[in-house]
Amino acid sequence: MISCRAPGKLFIAGEYAVVEPGHRAVLTAVDRYATATVIPAAATTLRSDLDGGITLTCRRHGDGLAPDTEDGTVPRAFAYVFAAARILDRLCAERGVETNPYDLEVRAELGDADGRKFGLGSSAAVTVATVDALGRFHGLGLNTMDRYRLAMLATLEVNPKASGGDIAVSTWGGWLAYASPDRTHVAELAAAEGIEAALRSPWPGLSVRPLRTPTELALQVGWTGTPASTPALVAGLGDRQQRPSERAHFLLRSDDCVERLVTAIESADAAAICAEIDCARQLLLDLDAGTGLGIMTERLHALCAAGAAVGAAAKPSGAGGGDCGIALIDRTRDTAITALTERWIGAGIRPLPLRTHPFEGDSQ
């Protein structure tokens, strides 16, 4: 039996800019996980606890893997898992590696007990865990960048506009500075030259830089109770596109903010880190005002206001429209942290007890 897990994520800064190739974001991995477990079997079967627990049997179709369903389609809950399995299958074929059937079970603990997602990147974590487990099962000897790239290729089959920031931080863990690749180029490369070529060729725009964990600050996370769809919000940005000059100005301001944030993190400058979190929040407010996307909900406004009231830097994490927000505050200010928690609860916001994965001093 082979079992691999991948952590969830939180965006710290750079949302809506990182969807453009070469533009940057900072993220952190958190200690909620997706786990993929694979064992040899008589037939290839995918199992998931998503959507109440379902099973998908796969079959060989020519040289590839296909869903054994009446209409030949993949159930929505298996979209990312199946895409990952198929990408690994294609890589095995290119390398001449014989594939044996398996039973793959995927479980995720990235949402509430009633199935509502917290916005912690469950799709990315599921994809990364699946790639890792199947890579080990097939004996492919994948390194960290290989796993990211394979998970990204699988993700692009489902969501071509995905930035991949969540994929990257679920792969590397910790705090991460990330710039997204040219996904159109990457997808075309894989289609024209194969998966192996896509692993070995440059990906224009891609940058991954692990950062130190800013242990001088406490990262507090609040859930609004309302799930949001990142793909839908990102697609909405395209539908309500800013004028080119406005978009360019937003991207420039966002990249400058992220660059200053990275410098502040690396130099352990807590005050500067908090200043850039406030800057990132203002960028989202301005973007929302200019596009009407609905990034800032009533509870996200309340989350940020509660942070300001106790001297914390707070903002939405990710695409907004619900899901989570974050606050960064001096770790030694216990009274203020307690007050923040109480204000959030009073506003209908649920504090989530999350830590960075791996936590400072923990092993992977």
Q: How many angstroms separate the CA atoms of 308 and 217, rounded?
A: 15
Which pLDDT value is given to residue 84? Answer: 96
What stretch of H or E contains 165?
Answer: helix 165-172
Place of tokens 């830097």: 313
Mean pLDDT in residue range 338-350: 97
Determine the residue type at 303.
Answer: L
CB 195 within 8 A of CB 135: no
pLDDT in tens, 244-266: 778 899 999 999 999 999 999 99
pLDDT in tens, 269-301: 999 999 999 999 999 999 998 888 888 999 999
Quote the tokens at residue 3.
């079992």
Which pLDDT value is given to residue 291? Answer: 85
Query: Sheet of 324-330: strands edge to edge?
Result: 313-316, 324-330, 217-223, 350-352
pLDDT of residue 236 exceeding 70, the answer is no
Query: How much is the mean pLDDT over the chain?
Result: 91
pLDDT in tens, 150-179: 999 999 999 999 999 999 999 999 999 999
Cα 77–chain centre separation: 17
pLDDT in tens, 60-118: 776 778 888 877 788 888 899 999 999 999 999 999 999 899 999 999 888 887 778 88
pLDDT of residue 363 exceeding 50, the answer is no
84 CB-near residues (< 8 Å, 6+ apart): 127, 130, 131, 134, 150, 151, 154
Q: How many angstroms separate the CA atoms of 152 and 158, rounded?
A: 10
Of the candidates 63, 36, 67, 55, which has an alpha carbon nearest to the alpha carbon of residue 136? Answer: 36
Partners of 105 in beta bridges: 37, 47
The proportion of the chain whose per-residue pLDDT surpasses 90, expressed as a percent, equals: 73
The proportion of the chain whose per-residue pLDDT surpasses 70, expressed as a percent, equals: 93
pLDDT in tens, 36-57: 999 999 988 888 876 666 788 8
Cα 345–chain centre separation: 26
Determine the residue type at 285.
Answer: L
Q: How many angstroms separate the CA atoms of 347 and 307, rounded?
A: 12
pLDDT of residue 239 exceeding 60, the answer is no
Of the candidates 15, 256, 97, which has an alpha carbon nearest to the alpha carbon of residue 264? Answer: 256
Which pLDDT value is given to residue 364? Answer: 47
What stretch of H or E contains 322?
Answer: none
Q: What is the pTM of this model?
A: 0.92
Q: How many angstroms separate the CA atoms of 72 and 54, rounded?
A: 16
Which pLDDT value is given to residue 221? Answer: 97
CB 161 within 8 A of CB 184: no
What stretch of H or E contains 267?
Answer: none
